[in-house]
Amino acid sequence: MGSLSRIVGVALLVIALVVTVVFMGQGTTASGFLASSSTPPSAAAPVDGATGLELVAGGAIANAAPAASGGINVSGPLALPPVQPGPARWSEWQPLDGGGTSAPSLASWAPGQLSVFIRSDDNTLRHRWWNGTAWSPWEDLGGNLASAPSCVDWGQRRLSCFVVQVGNASVWHKWWDGQRWSEWENLGGLATSSPGAVSWGANRLDIFVRGTGNNMYHRWWDGQRWSDWENLGGNLTSAPACTAWIVNRINCFARGTDSALYHLWWDGTTWTGWQRLDGVLTSSPTVSSWGPNRLDVFARGTDNGMWHLWWDGQRWSEWENLGDNLASAPSCISWGPNRIDCFAEGGTDLVMGVERGIIRRWWE
């Protein structure tokens, strides 16, 4: 009888072990551990259709994986706002080796590429460029400049520079054809300011200058020939600054006799009248555009700081003070959406008491 009891006990123990192994093979839990399974569990529903980290009621993690946008998606009572990229901002002013006797001029024929031009101490045109990685040395392009240069890009690896030369009031032109710099070309005129140049398309150039009577004069290259000079009126006390934010559209700015900013534009069919935009300018303005119907205007103010006014497609902003102590008009350019680079002669460092040469800052 005792032997029979022992046999029955052993048999029951064997049956229990078999049942446990079978159940564990089907994915049940034992002693608090997750049993292995030949079929992976279905993933929890992602948040808003994107794979991410979802917190459900009670704070339990239902699914964990990198969010498609690079942030973290959450829902339920512990929900947090999604991570957003930092806002665009202005950099600090930074020095750029070298300096000159005029405001700089900027051109860019590709994203991330910048060309800087200045009048040197011996009145020649100097050029330095950023290739996306490093700055080149300064290059001497000759000439005998009586004004700041105005340079513009009008195609892939195509640049044109305009200046007034010592000894006459004509506008002179020098260009880079993708392989070499040309000689200087005399475009005539009777300039009383530095030129302002703009291009709204391949092989198209528009140049502007203050002439006799303080009027603004305009001449253009249509791909085949130069036009005659056109008088656009006004009463300018500075060089004009112009930009194009779309094909066959030009916006020009200049300082008036009351030191305020004035605006004139070509709408594709005709020139408007001059519009007063207020402000108290102590330099020529500069203008850039990083997108359709966007304009950013900069000038030196009465405190020698750089001031900024912009058009957002619907209205003009108030003037914004961007500070510093400029010794020249600023020069600004955009080579991509929501990107602006500004350069100027830095003047004397108010703390160290030394001349700083060219300085730059950017918005991104």
pLDDT tens per residue across all 364 residues of the chain = 444 444 444 444 444 433 333 333 443 333 322 233 333 323 332 222 332 222 222 222 222 333 332 222 222 222 333 333 345 799 999 999 888 899 999 999 889 999 999 999 999 999 999 999 999 999 999 999 999 999 999 988 899 999 999 998 999 999 999 999 999 999 999 999 999 999 999 999 999 999 999 999 999 999 999 999 999 999 999 999 999 999 999 999 999 999 999 999 999 999 999 999 999 999 999 999 999 999 999 999 999 999 999 999 999 999 999 988 999 999 999 999 999 999 999 876 655 555 668 999 999 8
Question: Which tokens sit at 305?
Answer: 């700081």
Question: Which tokens sit at 333?
Answer: 């350019």
pLDDT of residue 18: 38
Instruction: Give the span between the Cα atoms of 118 and 327, in whole angstroms.
Output: 14
DSSP conformational letter for 258: T
Q: Where in the chain do CATH 2.120.10.70 domains reside?
A: 94-363
pLDDT of residue 116: 97
In single-letter form, the type of residue at position 229 comes to W
Instruction: Give the span between the Cα atoms of 115 and 154, in whole angstroms.
Output: 13
Q: In CATH, what class is 94-363? A: mainly beta
CB 260 within 8 A of CB 277: yes
pLDDT of residue 88: 74
